[in-house]
Amino acid sequence: MSEPIPKSSAWSVSTWLSVVSLTFGSFALISSELLPMAVLTPMAADLGVTEGAAGQAVTLTAVFAGIAAPTVALIIGRLDRKLINLMLCALVVASNIAVALTADYLVLLAARTLLGIAIGGFFALAGATVVRLVSIEDMGKGMSIVFMGLSAGLVIAPAASTLIGEAFGWRVAFMAAAGAGLLALLLQIICLPSVPATGATSLSSLFGLLKRRHVRVGLVVGLLFFGGEVCGFTFMRPYLESEGGLDATSIAPVLLVLGLASLLGSAIAGVFADRVLRDGFATTFLVLGIATIGLSTLSNSYVAVLAFAAAWGVAIGAGPVMTQTWMGRAAPDQLEGVGGLFLAVIQFGITLGAIVGGIAVDSFGTSAPLYVTATCALLAAILIVTQRAPDVVSQTPASALAPAE
């Protein structure tokens, strides 16, 4: 049975600005999360710890993001969601400033814990906030714009942080990240309207979501996508070096193409998510699977590597938008609760993907993680094709979908 095409409405200037203010928030969050990777060596030396210990700043952030995602929805009750978003942006600013000013490793870890809470809370509430701003019919479009900030952060943040760190020191790089958080905070103060809560998430309702088939499917697909993606991407450079015979100079354009393509994927995914959710969702994973197989078999051709890297990037840019939209339509009456569950699964998938990738490399060589990625992507595509897209309109109370004033 074909999916009905929801009718979308033209957005006002104020609506565009409110959504874009959230885009800056996602950019500041992902830039802050990835920053230690770009300045790991000088940061570790300055703090007097090993690079492995300094790298735990990223691990700890991810762990607390996963914990915070479902927890924030439980504890915020009926507080205005604009206030919550402002508080989370303030945590980003405070975390980065604390890291920039500290000489104590434990203080750094505590500060990164605050960042994890901000990441978990922001992305857990993002779907519900976007729906209140633009309506459920335009959720895919809204999420694609918000996630463009995430894709931009993946492209810009590592390179910019490295350059700033080399020129002015790693502490200045963290101050720059604090500045990005402050800009997001100011934009949301000015542009984001009041977003009153339509209800509060309870522990029973959170567990009740797991009884819904479409929610369970979305969680499994999210685990396959994010786990598989991280498994392959983490070890892509070693694979291109060992199997493709590429050096660092040749690999840099590949990663740039992949990053820019992810921006394109985020930008176009909203149209398909709103209009042909199931088919667009399945196609995203099919493209990822084919691109990964192409990379793993045609790495001796640089042109092919660039082409498959571009396809890979489009898929990983579109995937989060598609998955978040699916989850939103699966539980439109519990958007914050399902958003928390979704982000917790993302963080678990990221951790699991890195572990499986490491085992695969050690046991079978650098190409093994790519085969894991391809398998996960194709399984996700098959799972989605066998499902019927959730019918959001018929099951959702009007009050839950009413745009914020």
**Superfamily name with CATH number, domain 15-200:** MFS general substrate transporter like domains (1.20.1250.20)
In this model, does residue 395 exceed pLDDT 50? no
* Residue 21, token pair as written in the block: 């203010």
pLDDT at 202: 67
Alpha-carbon distance 315 to 116, whole Å?
A: 26
Distances, alpha carbon 150 to alpha carbons 31, 34, 105, 334, in Å: 8, 11, 27, 24
63-100: per-residue pLDDT in tens?
A: 888 888 888 877 887 788 899 999 999 999 999 999 99
DSSP class of residue 40 equals H
Helix or strand or coil: residue 3?
A: coil
| CB neighbourhood size of 402 (10 A) | 13
Element (H, E) at 202: none
Residue 230, sorted as left (phi over 0), alpha (psi -120 to 50) or beta, turns out to be alpha
Alpha helices in 192-247 (DSSP H): 203-208, 213-234, 236-242
211-225: per-residue pLDDT in tens?
A: 889 999 999 999 999
Number of C-alpha atoms within 13 angstroms, CB side, residue 370? 23
Q: Is 400 within 8 Å of 329 (Cβ atoms)?
A: no
Distances, alpha carbon 378 to alpha carbons 13, 265, 288, 372, 400, in Å: 40, 18, 8, 10, 34
Instruction: Say whether 203-395 and 15-200 share the same fold.
Output: yes
pLDDT at 378: 94
Residue 259, sorted as left (phi over 0), alpha (psi -120 to 50) or beta, turns out to be alpha
Q: Lowest-confidence range among 300-309, 332-341, 368-377?
A: 332-341
pLDDT at 232: 85
Q: Is 341 within 8 Å of 215 (Cβ atoms)?
A: yes
Segments of 313-404 assigned E as strands: none
| CB neighbourhood size of 304 (10 A) | 15
pLDDT at 383: 93
Closest CA to 134 of 323, 268, 270: 270
Average pLDDT, the chain: 84
Distances, alpha carbon 379 to alpha carbons 254, 317, 341, 373, 374, in Å: 26, 19, 21, 10, 9
Locate tokens 């995602």: which residue? 69
One CATH from 1.10.10.60, 1.20.1250.20, 3.40.50.2300, 3.40.50.300 for 203-395: 1.20.1250.20
Distance between start and end Cα atoms, the chain: 36
* Residue 41, token pair as written in the block: 């060596």
In this model, does residue 199 exceed pLDDT 80? no
Number of C-alpha atoms within 13 angstroms, CB side, residue 312? 27
CA gyration radius, the chain: 20
The residue with greater pLDDT, 244 or 119, is: 119
pLDDT at 1: 40
250-294: per-residue pLDDT in tens?
A: 887 888 888 889 889 988 888 888 888 889 889 999 999 999 999
In this model, does residue 198 exceed pLDDT 90? no
* Residue 310, token pair as written in the block: 């571009």
Q: Is 266 within 8 Å of 321 (Cβ atoms)?
A: yes
| CB neighbourhood size of 152 (10 A) | 21
Residue type, 274: D
Q: What angle (nearest 5°) sits at the alpha carbon of residue 121, between those of residues 403 and 139?
A: 35
Element (H, E) at 179: helix 170-191
Instruction: Indicate the burial class of 309 (C-beta count within 10 angstroms; 0-12, 13-18, 19 or more).
Output: buried
Please report, for the chain, the start and end positions of each structural domain, with discontinuous segments joined by +.
Answer: 15-200, 203-395
